[in-house]
Copies of this chain bind each other. A is one copy, B any other.
């Protein structure tokens, strides 16, 4: 992509790919704090090689982040394309949480602190802005309570992420129930237009 990207040697490129695949797996299974040695082991390379390619845990995590963001983008686009703004919001939330439920690493990242650098962070900001549009649209339609703020979305994400963490192994649908309860609290009280 950028200008300064030197072409990797063939074996190095192969190892990098194996590392990305392993990281996707391991972060997905064990969350953001999974031991890096496990990732190296599963990629079939030494820990040193992992550090060659990705000097920090965050660098590795960010390298696999774009994929997740792409999935999220699809969710956002489809939500914005929904003719029914309320339904758009609902499907956005369901899509977002379904992604988190599939991926502990993403769930952790999103739950704990999107402390990501530059690029990834910018992408997050963009996603957050688009989410703001979804919210705004639903508010204008009169179906979302007017006092719902984007910050409430962050809170909701925190909340549901923990529900996912605790229940995903034993009762994987719990987060849907939680979201339903929340959504019932998000509907606008009475009338439809001002």
Query: Residues of A at under 8 Å CB distance from B?
Result: 111-113, 145, 152, 155-156, 158-163, 165-167, 174, 177-178, 180-186
The distance from the CB of A55 to the nearest CB of chain B, in whole angstroms, is: 27
Q: Assess whether B158 is in contact with A167, with CB atoms less than 8 Å apart.
A: yes
Q: Assess whether A178 is in contact with B166, with CB atoms less than 8 Å apart.
A: no
If A111-B166, A112-B166, A113-B166 touch, whether A155 touches B182 (CB-CB below 8 Å) is no
**Main SS of chain A's interface residues?**
helix
CB contact between A181 and one of B152, B158, B174 (< 8 Å): that residue: B152
Contacts of A165 in B (CB 8 A): 158
Contacts of A111 in B (CB 8 A): 162, 166
